[in-house]
């Protein structure tokens, strides 16, 4: 009887291990935030659970927080601001998409009176003169606009370089949350 229980426990552990590897490899990934470019939403050292398969079933949405391959060595986490076909501009610390004023409530905790969070720009000014987001590309920004290396500096990102959507902040335990 005791031998049966040990055998069952060993098999259960092996199955759990195999399932964990499967989920980690194909469905989810864990990432560590490096830097302050996404504050106040994400903080340096936060551990994130990234859903790697969501965009196989649905399109990337404006304001999704995503992880993408910035280059062969680094992955970045940023917020999607512009989708293909969008015209993007900032004027007086206000986002305009296709000429319409768009609220960014997730930035409110970071705003301070008298200080601009996002400097004025148009898409043409921060790209190679392109006035709209090209097909298959995204325009991304960090939430901490004054301290973020984002599409204003490196241009559009390819949709195919997106690893996935940030679903959960799971460390530190006091910060467990779903990002805005």
Q: Active-site positions? A: 37, 78
d(CA 113, CA 98): 27
d(CA 133, CA 10): 53
Tokens read off for 174: 């006091």
**8 Å CB contact between 38 and 78:** yes
d(CA 44, CA 33): 5
d(CA 48, CA 28): 10
């Amino acid at each position: 009887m005791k031998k049966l229980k040990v055998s069952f426990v060993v098999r259960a552990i092996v199955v759990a291990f195999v399932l964990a590897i499967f989920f980690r490899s194909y469905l989810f990934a864990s990432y560590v935030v490096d830097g302050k470019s996404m504050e106040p939403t994400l903080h340096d050292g936060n551990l994130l659970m990234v859903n790697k398969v969501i965009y196989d079933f649905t399109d990337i949405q404006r304001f999704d927080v995503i992880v993408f391959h910035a280059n062969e060595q680094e992955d970045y986490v940023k917020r999607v601001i512009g989708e293909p076909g969008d015209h993007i501009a900032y004027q007086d610390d206000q986002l305009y998409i296709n000429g319409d004023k768009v609220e960014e409530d997730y930035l409110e905790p970071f705003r301070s009176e008298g200080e601009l969070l996002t400097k004025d720009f148009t898409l043409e000014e921060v790209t190679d003169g392109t006035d709209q987001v090209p097909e298959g590309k995204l325009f991304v920004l960090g939430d901490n606009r004054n301290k973020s290396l984002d599409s204003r500096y490196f241009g559009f990102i390819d949709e195919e370089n997106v690893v996935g959507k940030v679903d959960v902040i799971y460390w530190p335990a006091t910060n467990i949350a779903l990002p805005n």
